[in-house]
Structure 1
Amino acid sequence: MGNVLDTVRLPKMSEIVADRLRQQIIAGELVEGDPLPPEDQLMEHAGVARTTVREALRILESEGLLVVRRGAGGGARIRTPQVANVARYIGLVLQSQGTRLEDVHSARVMLEAPAAGLLATMPDRARIVAALRDALEAEAAAMDDPVALSHAHGRFHQLIVRLAGSETFEVLTAVANRIIQVQADRVMGARDTDGLTKAGAEAAHRAHARYVDMVEAGASQDAEDLWRKHLEAGEAILMSDPSSKTVLDLLE
């Protein structure tokens, strides 16, 4: 039996510096768009070499917490943690596991349909309905642009999750939403916009409008049932594309 101390890995100094800066970003001590202090100042403050500081910055850049511009007038600026970064990383995990797109759609239904019903029970329903109707107007304005309409539909779905009021829930659903939006863009770009795609987009818009009416009426179960059927119908259309069956096919 080996010595348990053999398994202990001490962090590199660059990781320690990166962790200190990461905590400052998360705590709001360093805010979005702020320039990071110059390398010399970071070196002096942490008591480390320039190579250590640069390695720490590379770590944070890879995590999406810094934007580094090279050359004259460049430098590092702070980025606060983004949901898209989380979705991108988990998307890589799903790719590596060969996850099928049916699995992603099923997860979306399990998460999003109950949220759709929940909105009809919330005390500030008037505010929720107003936000949903604004999103419907954005869809209507994009009706002649298939790609813009697809993104407007995606934003409507994301809005339902956001209005449910849980930031954790919003992060968890962001992965499925991102993957499905990529799939929708591919399908919308591959088909005749005067045929099935346009008809499907118009049907989706009508379903969204009926859903908002149900929320306004406080019909929670009807709203959830409609939204589940709507999600399943959308899956059937998107999965009819034979070129993508796994997350890897879609995101590679």
Structure 2
Amino acid sequence: MEPRVRVHRLAEQVADRIRAQIISGELADGDPLPKADELIRRYQVSAPTLREAMRILEAEGLITVRRGRLGGAVVHRPSPANLGYNLGLVLAAQRSGIGDVAAALRHVEPACAALCAARGDRAHTVVPRLRELHEEYLASIGDLPTVVGVSRRFHEALVSLCGNPPLIVLAGALEALWSSHEEGWASRTEPRGVPLSQREESGAVHGRILELIEAGESEAVHQLVAAHLASAQRNPQPVGSLAIDLTLLRELMLPPGEAGEAY
């Protein structure tokens, strides 16, 4: 048993050092890790130890191992999407449904919108991005999958631009989890499933949200976003199904790997 314990401890040490480089930004998002031979020389470990270290980092969502002849590993900085994936797994294990995620968002997203409106620098940090997304929404309103994606980005921006890092991470994980389901649902739905008039109504509300944030009306935008979510959220699963779809989580949140062996 002792050799196996030693390998595991060495693997954790290698994973710790690479993880620290990712967290610090020394390794940027999308950077390739050095090839296995170089990492083995750098850390003075065996191939099995390096493979175990790679498995640890991949399980944490910090790298994707691309397998096969041209394989290697690519860095992924931690993100709300990563947290959303793990959150989805926990909620699924607890038999919690996607409807519970929607209910949570109805509480936290209005608070984020209110913080956006309270930002003293909102004129150049918040408003331009929301206006860009609103205009993109109106331009793509005839294409259901596209407009749903733009709508989700608008709502995600209300979170990501609120200025409170812990809330951005926590609410962003919920947004990522909900978005993966809503966009998957939209791709399987006929355009007539959401009438154009309903999409136009949502676009008008987005415009009003933008106006209130620009004017600094925190309380009013909180109320409007809460009311909008209560009326606009719909179950993105087939009728009768409320379960969290783990397939959607995997496909839409984590980069896919390829078959084979790299490390």
User: Normalising TM by the smaller chain, what interval?
Assistant: 0.7 to 0.9
Q: Among residues 131, 135, 138, which one is paired with 2:136 in the alignment?
A: 138
- Aligned partner of 1:156 in structure 2 is 154
- Which of 211, 215, 218 aligns to 2:216? It is 218
Asked whether the equivalents of residues 109 and 232 of structure 1 are also in contact (C-alpha less than 8 Å), the reply is yes
Q: Which runs of 5+ in 1 are unaligned?
A: 1-8
CA 17–87 in structure 1, closer or farther in 2 if over 3 Å, else same = same
> SS state of the match for residue 67, structure 1?
strand
TM-score by length of 1: 0.84
Aligned length: 243
Q: Equivalents in 2 of 1:141, 1:56: separation in Å?
A: 47
Tell me the residue number matched to 2:253.
Answer: none
Q: Which residue number corresponds to residue 181 of structure 2?
A: 183
Map 1:1-252 → 2, pairs under 5 A: 12-127=9-124, 128-194=126-192, 196-235=194-233, 237-238=234-235, 242-248=239-245, 251=248
| SS of aligned partner of 1:238 | coil
Partner-residue secondary structure (3-state), 1:12: helix
Structure 2 residue runs without a partner (length 5+): 250-263
Identity %: 34
1:67 Cα offset (Å) = 3.0
Does structure 2 retain, via aligned residues, the 8 Å contact 1:191–1:197? no
Partners of 2:60 and 2:131 lie apart in 1 by 36
Greater C-alpha radius of gyration: 1
Task: After superposing the two structures, state which structure 1 stretch, 129-138 or 182-191, moved more.
Answer: 182-191
| Kept after mapping to 1: 8 A contact 2:185/2:236 | no
- Larger RCO of the pair (alpha carbons < 8 Å, separation 6+): 2
The CA deviation string for residues 126-148 of structure 1, in whole angstroms up to 9 with x for no partner, is 22223221111010111111001
Deviation at 1:170, TM superposition (A): 1.8
SS at match of 2:191: coil
Q: Name the residue aligned to 1:3.
A: none
Name whichever of 24-33 and 181-190 sits farther off: 181-190
Q: Structure 2 CA distance, aligned partners of 1:178 and 1:207? A: 21
- Given that 2:88 and 2:246 are in contact with CA atoms closer than 8 Å, whether structure 1 keeps it comes out as no
Contact 1:101 1:246 in 2 (8 A): yes
Give me the whole-angstrom Cα distance separating, in 1, the residues matched to 2:247 and 2:41. 46
Task: Tell me how far apart the structure 1 counterparts of residues 246 and 12 of structure 2 sit (CA, whole Å).
Answer: 34
User: What RMSD in Å do the two structures reach over aligned CA positions?
Assistant: 2.6
| Distance in 2 of aligned mates of 1:191 and 1:41 | 49
CA contact (8 A) 2:109 2:159 kept: yes
The 1:47–1:196 alpha-carbon spacing in structure 2 relative to 1, beyond 3 Å, is closer
| Contact 1:182 1:250 (C-alpha < 8 Å) held by counterparts | no
Distance across 1 between alignment mates of 2:201 and 2:245 = 29
